[in-house]
């Protein structure tokens, strides 16, 4: 995949695109907080010959550093949309894991009617009604807690908390190793604060395209399982539980995730063609 760069006033965002797949939709892979493009390595290997794929290192993550950590979730969504416009990525399907799913929801809020589909993987809804005041407070005050941990323990517990398989834990440990403890704590703290800010804004965050929810049955990151149950119940969206997967289901159970994504895109594309939507 070809590496490209998108400059912003806060720093440069790096992203990767494959061009050889030809016509058709673009799958847009959005990793979660403190993860980078490697979180989707199994998906990119599988889909790069079938579809045009785009994956980014989110602002402040991986190769998209240095980056001023004073942006909002909506800023990130608008930068992503500008990248998609630059790449003429239409139609596009947003595949967001955890924080990547929040970025996708902000993009749909700011640019309604543009996404061809949305798959949330171990993510959660952004609407204010799903979270308590205590949960918002905790999101705003995570950074001091992270700083209390020795770095070696934080890396070990972070990898174990995100994944249940050896491959999943190795993948997360490698991504965490890119940071110093100071970088990691600042990045995580900023991410959770901007998430709390986006939730507290109490915007509609409507999903105006076909959507699918995936969640690892062993996901222990916050209240992800409870959020997904409520999300599916209130919206009628299909929720698929991934056996043997934690928060990073893309690496814990890549074959299951790939099959679900492939079937979802094929169904949505067939419906789009039936309706004659370009």
Predicted pLDDT at 200: 97
Q: Is residue 183 domain-resident?
A: no
Q: Which residues contact 184 (CB under 8 A, 6 or more apart)?
A: 34, 146, 151, 154, 176
Q: Give the pLDDT band of residue 22 (cuts 50, 70, 90).
A: low
Cα–Cα distance, 54 to 29 (Å, whole number)? 6
Q: What percent of the chain has pLDDT over 70?
A: 98
Q: Is residue 26 domain-resident?
A: yes
Contact 63, 89 (CB under 8 A): no
77: domain range? 2-127+204-275
Residue 23 scores a pLDDT above 80: no
Residue 151 scores a pLDDT above 70: yes
Q: Is residue 155 domain-resident?
A: no
Q: Is residue 41 domain-resident?
A: yes
Q: Is residue 99 domain-resident?
A: yes
Task: Give 47-77 pLDDT, tens digit per residue.
Answer: 998 999 999 999 999 999 999 999 999 999 9
Predicted pLDDT at 278: 61
Query: In this structure, what CATH number is given to the domain that contains residue 49?
Result: 3.40.50.1820
Predicted pLDDT at 11: 98
Residue 209 scores a pLDDT above 90: yes
User: Mean pLDDT score of the chain, rounded to an integer?
Assistant: 96
Q: Is residue 188 domain-resident?
A: no
Task: Give 89-131 pLDDT, tens digit per residue.
Answer: 999 999 999 999 999 999 999 999 999 999 999 999 999 999 9
Q: Is residue 151 domain-resident?
A: no
Residue 231 scores a pLDDT above 70: yes
Q: Is residue 232 domain-resident?
A: yes
Q: How many domains would you assign to the chain? A: 1
Predicted pLDDT at 91: 93
């Amino acid at each position: 995949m070809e590496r490209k760069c998108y400059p912003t006033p806060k720093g440069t965002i790096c992203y990767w695109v494959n061009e050889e797949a030809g016509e058709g939709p673009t799958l847009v892979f959005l990793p979660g907080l403190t993860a980078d493009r490697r979180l989707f390595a199994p998906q990119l290997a599988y889909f790069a010959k079938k579809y045009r794929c785009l994956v980014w290192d989110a602002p402040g993550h991986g190769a998209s550093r240095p980056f001023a950590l004073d942006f909002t979730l909506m800023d990130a969504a608008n930068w992503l949309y500008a990248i998609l416009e630059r790449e003429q990525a239409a139609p596009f399907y947003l595949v967001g894991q955890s924080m990547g799913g929040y970025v996708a929801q902000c993009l749909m809020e700011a640019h309604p009617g543009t996404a061809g589909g949305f798959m949330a993987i171990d993510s959660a809804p952004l609407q204010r009604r799903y979270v308590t005041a205590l949960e918002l407070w905790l999101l705003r005050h995570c950074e001091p807690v992270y700083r209390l941990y020795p770095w070696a323990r934080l890396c070990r517990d972070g990898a174990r908390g995100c994944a249940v398989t050896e491959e999943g834990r190795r993948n997360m440990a490698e991504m965490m190793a890119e940071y110093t403890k100071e970088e990691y704590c600042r990045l995580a703290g900023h991410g959770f604060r901007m998430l709390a800010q986006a939730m507290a804004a109490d915007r509609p965050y409507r999903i105006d395209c076909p959507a699918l929810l995936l969640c690892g049955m062993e996901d222990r990151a916050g209240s992800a399982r409870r959020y997904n149950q409520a999300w599916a119940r209130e919206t009628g969206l299909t929720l698929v539980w991934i056996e043997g997967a934690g928060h990073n289901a893309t690496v814990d159970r890549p074959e299951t995730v790939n099959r679900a994504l492939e079937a979802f895109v094929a169904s949505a594309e067939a419906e789009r063609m039936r309706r004659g939507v370009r």
